[in-house]
A and B are shown apart, each in its own frame.
Chain A
């Protein structure tokens, strides 16, 4: 029951796998960043934690699933090859449906609550989130776990980057051990050939030392090869994850353009800065809020489609619960209401999670989000890039 030794007992620090885990974290963080953008934008304009955002993400994954069925990639389907067009269709479908769902939630659940206290809006958000989780569980397939057929993904391969070449002296050692191992094995094989009664498992009294020698040489060779393989530092990158990352970056650039260089984006920033003044200056606040929900939900839909397609995790209606909470933490970590902050926070969250896994504590990888959240709120409530202004009553 002693907690600290219990937590520290299983820690492992294998620095050779760290770079790979950090890159994995970066890829994971790209998804979190996409979801976090939705949280942070809605919080910016409405001062509301959109609890149902994770569920919008979940619905996006289901839309991708149904789209893949429609394209013929059912579990029993016989289609073997796929093209990027299919993936793009899935992506667009997810983004469109999520945007519609987001707008509907805002229109029918959040807008009537706008005059009431923030807690009332928060309770509504929790209610909508629970409704989509449990109500969705009645209608959407979840058992046996449906997942998107991996054949729809043409990018299944991976590439290996070498950061530090393996030790060459070990290579020579292997070269030295190889003939020895081959010779011992050959001798044993010849013995088996010449003695009809002997089998591999019962070589008889004469064969026994030969077998031992062969085994010993093989073990030695195996050990040397393993040592050689782990002496280098490399990163294995799956193409699918690389695509997730690149698409996310593209979407974020589009978002930057929309927010910084369009009229609606300027209006959005104005509403986020001061809701009442913006409406006095002639900004159609309702339109801007709808616009915000469209962008935020579409980003979540894109993240969901990519995660479900390229990682192949099974879907349940609780698919969005943990990513949603983690992305929210990412938004808080970067400074809620701050768009670059959400991206930074998302990437850091992803890396924090993989570092925990790297330390051999994968069972706590979900808890790290909450620890980060509590620490951030206690130490720097404004987040890394947010303002340090304490909120007044």
Chain B
């Protein structure tokens, strides 16, 4: 009885949360804020679904944008072709849900096709194949006239329910979280840890890998369908290689294998992207940063990373003491950027250069990836998940000891 009440209660809470968010967003936020909210929801879906493949099953895929693209183009094309033709006779929301399913199915088939080579390939080879697959899809779309070619698939009927985007994100999180709590889900973790050993223990490695690819890509496809109907216009560059890398950065930053980490990283990085793009200078134009400040920032990052790395390896003092010094180093680096920038101002070409803040976003992602790998390769959360018992322990209460965490 308690089991069912908890289940039904949490489902109702999730749906209620989505509708509340929708109402709040529509009343309080402008179209810009709503768009950011939608993008955050979509990126959470993408990051968590990639985490299922990369982090939980351990199959390194860096072509997630391909599945996103398959879903978006499939749903967008069908809507353009049939919904517009029937003069919107079908109610919008059920149609959109149908399109999400269609996009998910299409992407799942694509995921199956990519998942099959993963049976023979490992690690870096698989990464290259997924990257290549993404590029093949993009080139095919670019050369298909029906899909708008290299211009855009335009005039897709706009259906913009914010709640559905977030409901998809919650379903995706719930699916992945519940999956790894089941006995079947443990086989996914087993494959990640040791393929040969798990196969010796009777795990059907083939099936696990392909299932991970199919589920992960299906969610990406559904997210693509939502994006197509939210924006009303999609181009092949919306799904270029850098989108795959952005999703990868989210997963890696959060911690490969940690769903909580992926959610937090997706939230933070999506907001950061839009924040950088939306930064305005005092005169209302897009904010531009002078070249010497950019170089100074890079130098300060390098110095801080080297200092932290040295300290980490020295095992000096207690963890708390070291933590405080890390924070101090970061603060000094942030303040020091200004001071390093001053002598660099003498270099004319740098001082005269102005870099729009929006252009820095991929540079920041790249630096994040490298710095993260150097200092904390397991990501911020490692394999840890958010849980109530963890919260209780944080506040000094002695909660139940963690079960099969990670």
In A311-333, the 8 Å CB interface with B consists of 325, 328-329, 332
What is the interface of chain A mostly: helix, strand, loop, or mixed?
Answer: helix
Q: Which of A118, A119, A363 contacts B139 (CB 8 A)?
A: A363
- B122 contacts the other chain (Cβ, under 8 Å)? yes
Q: Are B363 and A113 in contact (CB under 8 A)?
A: no
- B120 contacts the other chain (Cβ, under 8 Å)? yes
Interface size class of A (residues with CB under 8 A): 35 or more
Q: How far apart are A363's CB and chain B's nearest CB, in angstroms?
A: 5
Q: How far apart are B272's CB and chain A's nearest CB, in angstroms?
A: 15
- A237 contacts the other chain (Cβ, under 8 Å)? no
CA distance in complex: A6, B135 (Å):
18
Known contacts A124-B369, A134-B362; decide if A371 and B377 are in contact (CB<8 Å). Answer: no
A378 surroundings in chain B (CB, below 8 A): 117, 120
Q: Are B124 and A118 in contact (CB under 8 A)?
A: yes
B368 (CB) vs chain A CBs: closest residue: A127
In B370-384, the 8 Å CB interface with A consists of 370, 373-374, 377
Known contacts A126-B248, A139-B353; decide if A364 and B139 are in contact (CB<8 Å). Answer: yes
Q: Chain B 139-177 against A: per-residue CB contact (8 Å), 1 yes, 0 no?
A: 110111010000000000000000000000000000000
CA distance in complex: A260, B359 (Å):
46
A367 surroundings in chain B (CB, below 8 A): 135-136, 139-140
Q: Are B117 and A374 in contact (CB under 8 A)?
A: yes
- B232 contacts the other chain (Cβ, under 8 Å)? no
Which of B121, B140, B146, B370 counts the most A-chain CB atoms under 10 A from its CB? B370
Q: Which of B123, B353, B360 contacts A122 (CB 8 A)?
A: B123
CA distance in complex: A235, B142 (Å):
32
A48 (CB) vs chain B CBs: closest residue: B124
A122 (CB) vs chain B CBs: closest residue: B124
CA distance in complex: A252, B231 (Å):
51
Q: Are B60 and A119 in contact (CB under 8 A)?
A: yes
Q: Are B370 and A120 in contact (CB under 8 A)?
A: no
CA distance in complex: A130, B252 (Å):
15
In B169-224, the 8 Å CB interface with A consists of 194-196
CA distance in complex: A108, B257 (Å):
27
- B294 contacts the other chain (Cβ, under 8 Å)? yes
- B366 contacts the other chain (Cβ, under 8 Å)? yes
Q: Which of A3, A124, A134, A363 contacts B370 (CB 8 A)?
A: A124
Q: Are B123 and A118 in contact (CB under 8 A)?
A: yes
- A138 contacts the other chain (Cβ, under 8 Å)? yes
Q: Are B143 and A364 in contact (CB under 8 A)?
A: yes
Stretch binding the partner chain, chosen from B125-133, B327-335, B338-346: B125-133
A-B contact count (CB 8 A): 126
Q: Which of A1, A363, A369 contacts B146 (CB 8 A)?
A: A1
Q: Are A112 and B309 in contact (CB under 8 A)?
A: yes
CA distance in complex: A363, B138 (Å):
12
CA distance in complex: A374, B117 (Å):
8
Q: Which of B128, B195, B245 contacts A373 (CB 8 A)?
A: B128
Q: Are B370 and A49 in contact (CB under 8 A)?
A: no
CA distance in complex: A381, B128 (Å):
13
B128 surroundings in chain A (CB, below 8 A): 49, 328, 332, 373
B196 surroundings in chain A (CB, below 8 A): 393
CA distance in complex: A26, B210 (Å):
39
Q: How far apart are A176's CB and chain B's nearest CB, in angstroms?
A: 46
Which of A1, A49, A129, A135 counts the most B-chain CB atoms under 10 A from its CB? A135
CA distance in complex: A328, B125 (Å):
11
Q: Chain B 233-269 against A: per-residue CB contact (8 Å), 1 yes, 0 no?
A: 0000000001001001000100000000000000000
B194 surroundings in chain A (CB, below 8 A): 393
A138 (CB) vs chain B CBs: closest residue: B355
Q: Chain A 123-137 against B: per-residue CB contact (8 Å), 1 yes, 0 no?
A: 110111111011101
CA distance in complex: A38, B17 (Å):
53
A321 (CB) vs chain B CBs: closest residue: B241
- B367 contacts the other chain (Cβ, under 8 Å)? yes
Q: Are B245 and A381 in contact (CB under 8 A)?
A: no
Q: Are A381 and B121 in contact (CB under 8 A)?
A: yes
- A370 contacts the other chain (Cβ, under 8 Å)? yes
Besides A48-B124, A381-B125, 16 other CB < 8 A contacts? A49-B127, A113-B373, A120-B373, A123-B252, A124-B370, A126-B248, A126-B369, A127-B368, A127-B370, A128-B366, A138-B360, A367-B136, A377-B117, A377-B121, A378-B120, A381-B120
Binding site for A on B (CB under 8 A): 60, 62, 117, 120-125, 127-129, 131-133, 135-136, 139-140, 142-144, 146, 194-196, 242, 245, 248, 252, 291, 294, 298, 309, 353, 355, 359-360, 362-363, 365-370, 373-374, 377
Which 9 residue pairs of A and B lie closest in terms of their CB atoms, listed nearest first?
A127-B369, A370-B132, A131-B366, A130-B366, A134-B362, A127-B370, A120-B377, A367-B139, A124-B373
